[in-house]
Every structure is written in C-alpha cells, then in structure tokens.
Chain A
Amino acid sequence: GENVEQHPSTLSVQEGDSAVIKCTYSDSASNYFPWYKQELGKGPQLIIDIRSNVGEKKDQRIAVTLNKTAKHFSLHITETQPEDSAVYFCAAMSSDRGSTLGRLYFGRGTQLTVWP
C-alpha cells in the first residue's frame, strides 16, 4: 500500500514568516493530494488539495506544489498568523481500483506553532 512521510513533525515560526511542510509518497498510482488542518478537539479540516494533472495550486495565503517525478508535495503558508497554529496533515489517494480504491493515506502530522 501507500506510504506517506511528512516532515517536520514540529515547526515554530514568528508571525508574518512563511511555513513549509513537505511530504513524500511511495505509490506512483496516487493522483490526489489533500492537506488538512486539525485544531485541538476538532476533526481534520480540508484546507487545500491538488490533483496530479497540475503542479501548483494557490488559495490566498496557502499554496501546494506537487512534483510527481520525485513523488513529493509541499504545503506553503505565507504571512503566518497565530490562528494558523494547528496540526497539519498531508494525505495521498489513488483512484485506481486495483490499488487503494480511493482511501486516504495520511502523514503523521506537523504541529505548527506561530508566535505573535
């Protein structure tokens, strides 16, 4: 099955700085890569996703890049704010019925802390 690795496990930045979280995956059939933000006591919230037919996607202060050849994708948060503090998870999914049947495989998460 798919194996998703995520780095770093913790990340501390000053308010206004940028934060970058990186993930690698193993299954070349994976073609969908969402990012989730999980605040304490809440469920994972989808913040951005990217499909394998594009290399980059932006949504205001958040962007995701994908390198299919190298099998890695990254989350970029610019102009960080204290409310960005949370655990961020990357995930990978394949729509290939012969492999992972559309299930999400998650990284272990990154605890992001933004200091005022």
Chain B
Amino acid sequence: DSGVTQTPKHLITATGQRVTLRCSPRSGDLSVYWYQQSLDQGLQFLIQYYNGEERAKGNILERFSAQQFPDLHSELNLSSLELGDSALYFCASSVEGGGSTDAQYFGPGTRLTVL
C-alpha cells in the first residue's frame, strides 16, 4: 500500500458526460501528479500540482481540468467525455516536485469506461 488513495475505483459513464476523480496524497506529500494509462498511449503525464498551485502540464486535453485543495487532496475533472477517454487514471504524490527528483508513489487508480 503506497498511502495514496483514489476514488472511485471504477466509473462507467456515457459519452458527453462529466466525471470527477479524487485523490488523496500520502501524508506529508505536497505534490500530486495525474497520469493516464491506455493500451495505445502507455503511461502519460497529465498535470502536476504542488501545494495548491499548478506546477507542470503535460498531454492534458482542454476538456480535462484539475485542482488541488488546501487539504492537499486533488480532483481531476473530465468533461464532454468521448469513447477514447476510457482508460486508467492514476494519481501519484511526492514530498516536493519540480526542481527535485523525489520519488513518486502511485495510487491504485480509477478505471474509467465511457460507453
């Protein structure tokens, strides 16, 4: 158990809908990262937050957004969902992040299925 928690574990929804994925980092970690894992793209970095502020952006679609709250938990919002958004979404956390090479610890993931 990495100490990173994610909810829900599974999510099934329809095209055009909007969903919210939630992540709680390990105790003491200030950075949260979101990754998408799919068969064709592999593990891809989406976005990083550090202590409530956006730190880095990767291959994140404009339909997707994220935020980190004062208690350091993070939410990833996916809107106008398409079939191709079906994937595993992982959250990871580290003590710091950006400018340092802290180890990242991953949560168990949320499996999103868009029908």
Q: Which single residue of chain A is at the shortest CB-CB distance from B98?
A: A102
Q: Which single residue of chain A is at the shortest CB-CB distance from B4?
A: A43
Size class of the B contact interface (CB-based, 8 Å): 20 to 34
A105 near B45: Cβ-Cβ < 8 Å: yes
Chain A contacts to B: CB under 8 angstroms:
31-32, 34, 36, 42-46, 49, 51, 89, 93, 95, 97, 101-109
The 8 Å CB contact of B58, one of A44, A46, A103, A109, is A103
What residues of chain B lie closer than 8 Å to A102, measured between beta carbons? Answer: 48, 55-56, 97-102
B2 near A43: Cβ-Cβ < 8 Å: yes
Interchain Cβ contacts within 8 Å, total number: 67
Bound-complex Cα distance A10 to B44 (A): 20
What sequence of 0s and 1s flags, for each residue 68-103 of chain B, a beta carbon within 8 Å of any chain A beta carbon?
A: 000000000000000000000010100001111111
Q: Which single residue of chain B is at the shortest CB-CB distance from A91?
A: B43
What residues of chain B lie closer than 8 Å to A31, measured between beta carbons? Answer: 101
Which secondary structure dominates chain A's binding surface?
loop
Bound-complex Cα distance A95 to B99 (A): 5
Q: Which single residue of chain A is at the shortest CB-CB distance from B109?
A: A43
Bound-complex Cα distance A101 to B45 (A): 12
Bound-complex Cα distance A106 to B43 (A): 6
Q: Which single residue of chain A is at the shortest CB-CB distance from B88?
A: A43
A36 near B45: Cβ-Cβ < 8 Å: no
Assess A108 versus B56: contact at CB under 8 Å? Given A43-B106, A43-B109, A95-B100.
no
B90 near A43: Cβ-Cβ < 8 Å: yes
B42 near A97: Cβ-Cβ < 8 Å: no
The 8 Å CB contact of A93, one of B2, B42, B101, is B101
Q: Give chain B nearest CB distance to A27 CB in angstroms.
A: 13
Q: Does B105 contact A (CB under 8 A)?
A: yes
